[in-house]
Structure 1
Amino acid sequence: MASELVEHYGVDCFEDTRLTRSPHGRLEFLRTQELIRRLLPGVRSRILDIGGGTGVHAAWLAADGHVVHVVDLVPRHVDAAAARDGVTAEVGDARQLSAGDESVDVALLLGPLYHLVEPAERACALAEARRVLRPGGLLVVAAVSRYMSLLEVGSEGRLTAEMEPSVASVIATGRYDGHAGFVDAHFHTADELHAEMTDAGVRDVAVFGIEGPAWPALDSAGLQEFEARVEAALRCARIVERDPLLINTSAHLLGVGRK
């Protein structure tokens, strides 16, 4: 998997624009900032951004006054992250971190979990993130919802008879086969993410829907309508961010907990 990801992401810094090139990406970015800022302690924190890519999130966290270090598998991502003001970075693997025990206040896993398709690999990454956290430290974990593919290809008119078995399979099993683009991955339900974090010894776990149910409508309207519609979409997401009946309609989930 590591070599596949380096090949997928390492040709250019396409990942750098993931959160800006589509309406739902922009919504994801705004809501992720909102949720993390809500959860962070009101003091300068030492943050380890595991799988932090090109440092898109590290940049605003550093601008907020935090000390941020990025770890990523892809050398080009690490170079881009290290070039950002106030951010340091190194090549590394979420399953075997170089950071010492109890050395950071906050650990972010905003990308690795869906790339680790085997349960044991995800458990290893969660255990490593917990290891480097100080007691009481904050763990923030992102996951892709199992229903993202269904809502994306269905709302875009791309759900064909040939694609239907793959869409149904990812909902049933979590194993995503790349049918709508992207690499093979694991997609979560909110309950599954909660269970994996709890099994890793994380306490006080809560799971939030990031984008809420309005993200497919934003994509259908296009970037030209984003500013006019985003406030309503944000309000929608906030209202149902913990609603068990609607949380999985978000394209992404955010699990949070404490060591």
Structure 2
Amino acid sequence: MEQQSGGIVAYYTDRYREDLRLRGRPQARLERQRTLEILRESLPVAPARILDVGGGTGEYARALVALGYQVRLLDLVPAHVDRARAGRPGLDAEVADARALPEEDDSYDATLLLGPLYHLPDHTDRCTALTEAVRVTRPGGLVLAAAISRFAGPLDFAATGRLDDRMLEEARVLLTDGRNDPTLGFTHAYFHRVEELVGECHAAGLVDVTVEGIEGPAWIAAEAGAHGPMAEQLFTAALLLARTYGSEPALVAASAHLLARATVPGGPSRTGPTRPGLPV
């Protein structure tokens, strides 16, 4: 795993600009907007303490800080942490591994894992990261953990006209093996089935686990029409369907990303007053 970690750091340092990702293609715009909406619906009221594990360059952390949340960001990639600290506003950020968080027990009201799980190909490592999130979150607190859907890659390649024989073979492999082939362009990663994500949350001791599809079932239509005359109409339709069908069990896995919401046992249930809207 340490060799894989080095490959992940190199990918995000030398080959890919994470700080530009969420404002680009339709899938990424849907991911950003829907994630912010789900955070608005789920998080305790500010100024709750939020730990953003694998928070990248701080896209979501800054939105939360703007609402008055106390946010600390941790990320494996030093270049991400540098950008998180240097941005406006500068964030409280540190280099750290999701499997060994440099935080005290029960010290946060909610912990976000919006990236680490899909960069941990081994089941044991994913469960360790979730267990660490449980450890640092107070009883009754919330853990939100994102995963890439098992079917995201082949659907994306089909929507963008890139589904060649090699990718079709990868689609067949993914039916039984969720490990990404890094020679296809992305780095070391694991693609989840919904039931796997639920099982890993339960294995970490979390309760009240629900999984939502972030981009919804029509993100591939928005991708297919991204450069056509109906691009914005397709994006709007995809967003509306993501809001409508995000929790529909039969359609959750059609999203590019999955988001598990779960509670650390031992405290009150995750209910409370209406949250203020997040900027989108």
Cα distance in 2 for residues equivalent to 1:61 and 1:242: 24
Map of 1:120 onto structure 2: 124
Cα deviation code 1:89-137 (max 9, x no counterpart): 0011000010000001110000000000000100110010110001111
Contact 2:7/2:188 (<8 A) preserved = no
Contact 1:12/1:76 (<8 A) preserved = no
SS at match of 1:205: strand
Cα distance in 1 for residues equivalent to 2:160 and 2:82: 35
Cα distance in 1 for residues equivalent to 2:166 and 2:120: 26
State the one-letter code of the partner of 1:113. Answer: L
Map of 1:30 onto structure 2: 33
Within the alignment, does 1:257 sit opposite 2:270 as a pair?
no
Moved over 3 A (4+): 223-229
Give the C-alpha shift of residue 180 in structure 1: 4.3
Cα deviation code 1:7-60 (max 9, x no counterpart): 111127700011111111001100000011100122311111001110111110
Specify every segment of 5 or more residues in structure 1 that has no aligned partner in the other structure, as ranges. none
Residue 100 of structure 2: which of 93, 96, 99 is its match? 96
Cα distance in 2 for residues equivalent to 1:223 and 1:63: 33
Give the C-alpha shift of residue 226 in structure 1: 4.7
Deviation larger for 124-133 or 84-93: 84-93
SS at match of 1:175: coil
Give the C-alpha shift of residue 227 in structure 1: 3.7
SS at match of 2:216: coil
- State the TM-score, normalizing by the size of structure 2: 0.88
Give the number of the structure with larger relative contact order, counting CA–CA contacts within 8 Å between residues 6 or more apart.
2
Residue 201 of structure 1: which of 205, 215, 224 is its match? 205
Cα distance in 1 for residues equivalent to 2:236 and 2:160: 22
Give the C-alpha shift of residue 254 in structure 1: 0.3
- Quote the sequence identity (%): 45
State the one-letter code of the partner of 2:254. Answer: T
Map of 1:75 onto structure 2: 78
Cα deviation code 1:213-241 (max 9, x no counterpart): 11111112216755433332121012211
- State the TM-score, normalizing by the size of structure 1: 0.95
Cα distance in 2 for residues equivalent to 1:157 and 1:11: 27
Specify every segment of 5 or more residues in structure 2 that has no aligned partner in the other structure, as ranges. 265-280
Deviation larger for 61-70 or 75-84: 75-84
Contact 1:163/1:179 (<8 A) preserved = no
Give the C-alpha shift of residue 183 in structure 1: 0.9
Contact 1:13/1:77 (<8 A) preserved = no
Map of 1:163 onto structure 2: 167
Cα distance in 2 for residues equivalent to 1:16 and 1:248: 26
Q: How many residues align?
A: 259
Give the C-alpha shift of residue 86 in structure 1: 5.7
Cα distance in 1 for residues equivalent to 2:232 and 2:170: 34
RMSD: 1.6
